[in-house]
Structure 1
Amino acid sequence: MDLPAVNEGIARLIQQLRAAALLDDQFSQLLQLQDESNPDFVQEIVELYFTDSASKIEKLEQRLGRSQPDYADVDQLVHQFKGSSASFGAHSMAQLCAKLRESCQAQDQAGCQTLVLQAREVFQVLKSQLEVFLQLEKHRKQLERQATAGRAPI
């Protein structure tokens, strides 16, 4: 696969994720922040989001599995998750977090648990698609390095 094909694959994947409402314009803006001075910016942000989100989902499941959840504590965690998802551009996740906050405020344990399960499912889909993105991005960087090395004076 040559560089234009890889770039097209990345663009198509991002477009599909946006069409599915998994990502929004915020993610596209993050892509624009990557440059030669910070070539791994997007990879680092994606991996940080993966780690942070998995941790938050696990904590939410634990806290909501208690017989008497501390809804203020759960709501605080969901608020953080919503903010990080919105900043990342994970549109569907941010929307689920908004619904989850409503269920927390209503102290609806079953509703909260259902929404956390949905969040886990959305996260798994988003993660698998962004892992494809990271592989394409890695391939793109390799091709760019090869192209640059081929033009370097001897």
Structure 2
Amino acid sequence: MEAQVANVNQAIDSLLQQLENEGVLDEQFQQLLQLQDDSNPDFVAEVVQLYFEDSVQKIERMGAMLSSAPPDFKELDQLVHQFKGSSASLGAATIAQLCIKLREGCQTQNQQMCLALLGQLRDAYCLLKNKLDIFMGLEQQRKQLLAGMAR
């Protein structure tokens, strides 16, 4: 059983290292992991889940705003600013960087640039979600193994 836990821990470490190397996540995500302890064992899973729920709504709203003519760039900029903040808080580095570029597009009122960046943002979000879903599955597996060992 201990070997299984070690294998799962290794898989988690490898996945997080890969995501950091690729610039998908930054050290902020590691700091979130350090906040998780026995008194709050699901902290990271809860933060990630809230981020995903919030992100889907924001991305859909950005798309709707950009499909109207002309878009309200000021309102869009505020929404992108919020999304950048929540992404940076999670450690979603790629998404936060794309938000910075998207805000530049809002400030220059460049609808085509904003649409192109929104497409990149959607892709980056899907990649992050897929990878963090794997992470959450591994975390769940680790908890089950540890619970089995405690019996």
What SS is found at the alignment partner of 2:109? coil
User: Which residue type is aligned with residue 83 of structure 1?
Assistant: G
Task: Tell me, yes or no, if structure 1 residue 74 matches structure 2 residue 72.
Answer: no
Tell me by how many angstroms 1:110 deviates. Answer: 0.6
Task: Tell me, yes or no, if structure 1 residue 21 matches structure 2 residue 28.
Answer: no
Q: TM-score, normalised by structure 1?
A: 0.95
Distance 2:150 2:4 in 1: 14
- Counterpart in the other structure of 1:91: 93
- Counterpart in the other structure of 1:132: 134
Distance 1:132 1:15 in 2: 14
What SS is found at the alignment partner of 2:23? coil
What SS is found at the alignment partner of 2:25? coil
Matched length: 149
User: Which residue type is aligned with residue 61 of structure 2?
Assistant: K
Q: Which segments of 5 or more consecutive residues in structure 2 lack a partner in the other structure?
A: none
For each residue in 1:7-56, what CA deviation from the matched residue of structure 2 results, as whole angstroms up to 9, or x when unmatched?
00000000000011000000000001110101110110111111111111
Distance 1:66 1:125 in 2: 27
Distance 2:49 2:97 in 1: 21
Stretches of 4+ moved more than 3 A in 1? none
User: Which residue type is aligned with residue 37 of structure 1?
Assistant: S
- Counterpart in the other structure of 2:38: 36
User: Which residue type is aligned with residue 144 of structure 1?
Assistant: L
- Counterpart in the other structure of 2:119: 117
- Percentage of pairs with the same residue: 52
User: Which residue type is aligned with residue 99 of structure 1?
Assistant: K
Distance 1:46 1:142 in 2: 19
Distance 2:35 2:148 in 1: 23
What SS is found at the alignment partner of 2:100? helix
